[in-house]
């Protein structure tokens, strides 16, 4: 039975229940505000960390870096050492840059970022192409010679899925590829080991440059398609030969709006990696390039690729129309890439005929 307070018409038990309910509402309100504050702080921290992780690595001096690495390992800087050491450092940058390797992140803030993973993929494309060229061309004297076992393993590791986060993770596989390159470098610098070789010949260099030209040509087309354009469809119909040809039709080629920045940063990644590799090629193939009068051509290619690394002052990749008010960063990048590609085609001509 409830007792009644004097001078009131309300049971004392009801007052107690109401007070506890009010205190519960106040406590829930402050708890909600605390959780919201913590969430806001987390999002702000993730935003700042994501901005820091999205900073592209700076260019590094190739020859000095290779020389320092050789001295630290107490090795002689033999022919080919600069190229392989540069490939190793370029690949190492994917793992050591701020935030590490981001393409396979499954948690914020890496999960929210797409520009840096696209940059990483661009670098990885050039790493894969050069590791393949090392195995099948640079390290072999002729078509019937044996492939280097360390370079076989390096190519396999670098061609692992770039988005794997489970065991084995992409980073672990790429780290194994770096170890294989290191073993090849050790054998290359050891005069007592004759199995590891690096042949600085014009035909070897020309073969790799053919792959580079194909990559840059594709990039140039994808960058130019940011504004959309109509082109003739020159693809042959199935079953028809090139001599007969196929009916030509027009088709619109346009990069999807959400993919424009991805293509742009992939191009920056490829240009970053390729500029370093070509500087190393200029060192190791100095005699070949001088004999073919091609040194200036290599330096011009490097200049175009390094110009593509200029800082992007806009907070986003702008996609204005060709002659519109706003800039189109993809078209600017396409200009540098296509000019570098044209110079590579001229360089290949010099190497084969000069």
Residue 333: closest CA among 274, 273, 263 = 263
Average pLDDT score over residue span 196-222? 95
**Which residue has better confidence, 165 or 273?**
273
Least confident of 23-32, 46-55, 73-82, 112-121: 23-32
Angle made by CA atoms 164, 98, 96, in degrees to the nearest 5: 65
Rounded distance between C-alpha atoms, residue 263 and residue 271, angstroms: 12
**Which residue has better confidence, 252 or 274?**
274
Least confident of 45-59, 151-165, 167-181, 297-311: 45-59
What was the pLDDT predicted at 114?
86
Task: Band the pLDDT of 16: cuts 50, 70, 90.
Answer: low
Q: Is the dihedral of CA 71, 76, 82, 87 positive or negative?
A: negative
What was the pLDDT predicted at 6?
47
What was the pLDDT predicted at 17?
52
Residue 5 has pLDDT above 70, yes or no: no
Residue 94 has pLDDT above 50, yes or no: yes
Q: What is the mean pLDDT of the chain?
A: 86
Residue 317: closest CA among 265, 270, 251, 267 = 265
User: Looking at 204-352, which runs of residues are DSSP E strands?
Assistant: 229-233, 249-253
């Amino acid at each position: 039975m409830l007792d009644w307070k004097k001078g009131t018409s309300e049971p004392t038990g009801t007052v107690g229940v109401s007070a506890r309910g009010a205190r519960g509402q106040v406590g829930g309100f402050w708890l909600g505000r605390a959780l919201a504050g913590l969430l806001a702080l987390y999002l702000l921290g993730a935003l700042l960390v994501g901005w820091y992780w999205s900073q592209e690595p700076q260019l590094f001096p190739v020859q000095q870096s290779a020389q320092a690495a050789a001295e630290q390992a107490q090795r002689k800087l033999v022919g080919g050492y600069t190229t392989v050491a540069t490939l190793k450092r370029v690949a190492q940058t994917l793992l050591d840059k701020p935030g590490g390797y981001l393409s396979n992140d499954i948690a914020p803030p890496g999960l929210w970022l797409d520009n840096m993973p696209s940059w990483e993929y661009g670098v990885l494309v050039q790493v894969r192409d050069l590791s393949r060229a090392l195995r099948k061309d640079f390290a072999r004297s002729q078509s019937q010679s044996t492939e280097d076992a360390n370079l076989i393993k390096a190519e396999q590791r670098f061609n692992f899925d770039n988005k794997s986060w489970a065991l084995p993770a992409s980073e672990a596989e790429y780290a194994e590829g770096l170890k294989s390159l290191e073993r090849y470098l050790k054998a290359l610098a050891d005069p007592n080991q004759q199995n590891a070789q690096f042949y600085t010949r014009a035909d070897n260099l020309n073969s790799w440059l053919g792959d580079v030209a194909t990559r840059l040509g594709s990039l140039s087309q994808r960058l130019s398609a940011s504004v959309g354009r109509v082109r003739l469809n020159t693809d042959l119909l199935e079953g028809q030969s090139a001599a007969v040809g196929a009916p030509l039709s027009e088709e619109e080629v346009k990069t999807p709006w959400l993919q424009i920045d991805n293509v742009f940063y992939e191009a920056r990644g490829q240009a970053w990696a390729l500029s370093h590799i070509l500087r190393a090629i200029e060192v190791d193939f100095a005699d070949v390039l001088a004999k073919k009068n091609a040194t200036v051509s290599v330096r011009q290619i490097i200049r175009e690729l390094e110009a593509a690394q200029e800082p992007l002052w806009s907070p986003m990749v702008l996609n204005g129309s060709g002659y519109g008010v706003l800039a189109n960063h993809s078209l600017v990048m396409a200009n540098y890439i296509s000019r570098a590609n044209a110079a590579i085609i001229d360089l290949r001509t010099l190497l084969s005929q000069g």
